[in-house]
Amino acid sequence: NAGVTQTPKFQVLKTGQSMTLQCAQDMNHNSMYWYRQDPGMGLRLIYYSASEGTTDKGEVPNGYNVSRLNKREFSLRLESAAPSQTSVYFCASSFEDRAGNTIYFGEGSWLTVV
Amino acid sequence: QQQVKQSPQSLIVQKGGISIINCAYENTAFDYFPWYQQFPGKGPALLIAIRPDVSEKKEGRFTISFNKSAKQFSLHIMDSQPGDSATYFCAASRRGSTLGRLYFGRGTQLTVWP
C-alpha cells in the first residue's frame, strides 16, 4: 500500500522556470491537499481539493496553480518560480469519519529556487 | 490570523523525562484535535487525537490533555526516548465542515538526549 506518492523528491530550479509537482494517492480519498513547510512557519496550506473537479485556495496560493486530474491525482504547478518558493512541499489526502479528519502525507518534495 | 498557537518552538529533554507541548485555539467550533509527528526527511504522520467530549486520551507513553474552557490542549510524552526526537504539530478542525480542513500549529522540535 503506497499511500500518498509525490514526485520529484528533490528539484533545483532557476528563477523564472516552471515545474509541476505530481501527487497520487491509492486510498480512495476524496480530499487532497498541497502544503508547504518552512522553518518556524509550520505547515501552510497552498491549495486543496474536496473532490474530483474542485479546487480551492488555501492560506498561501499566490504563485501556484493546481489540477485535480482525477480522484487519485492532484498536481501543483509553479508557473514562474521565485526564490521565495524554496521550500518543502507535501501532498496529502484525507478521509473524515466519526472521529475526525485524518490526513495522510506524502514523503515531501524539496524544492530549491536559485 | 493563526488559528492554532503552539509552544514551545523547541524542546530539549533528557531520556526518561516528560516532554510537554502546549497548544491553544480560538475557534470554539473546533471539535477535533490531532497531533502529528514528523521525523527528519519524512512527512508528518498522525500520532494521537482527541475530541472535546473527553479531557484526556492516552496511548502508550503519549497523552493528550484537553481543557475546553481554556481552549487549550497539550501533548505529554512520558519516559521520553531518543527515538521520540522529532517535530510535533498540533492541529484543530471542525468535523462536518466543507472540507474538515486541519489548522496546524507551527511545530515543536523535540530533542531527547540519551
Tell me whether B108 touches chain A (CB under 8 Å): no
Task: State pLDDT tens for residues B62-113.
Answer: 999 999 999 999 999 999 999 999 999 999 988 765 555 788 999 999 999 9
Residues B78/B61, Cβ–Cβ less than 8 Å: yes
Residues of B in contact with A43 (CB under 8 A): 44, 89, 104, 107
**pLDDT, tens digit, for every residue of A59-81?**
899 999 999 989 999 999 999 99
A42/B100 touch (CB, cutoff 8 Å), yes or no: no
Which uninterrupted H or E stretch holds A44?
strand A42-49
Q: What is the pLDDT of residue B100?
A: 58
- Provide, rounded to the nearest whole percent, the portion of chain A with pLDDT above 70: 97
Contact map slice: A 38-57 vs B, CB within 8 A: 40-43, 45, 48, 50, 56
The model's confidence at residue A5, banded by pLDDT at 50, 70 and 90, is very high
The minimum CA-CA distance between A16 and chain B, rounded to whole Å, is 27
DSSP 8-state secondary structure symbol assigned to residue B76 = E
Q: Report the C-alpha gap between B97 and A84 in whole angstroms.
A: 32
Q: Which of A6, A21, A41, A43 to mutate to test binding with chain B, by most B CBs within 10 Å of its CB?
A: A43
Read off the pLDDT band of A57 (50, 70, 90).
very high
**Residues A101, B45: C-beta atoms closer than 8 Å:** no
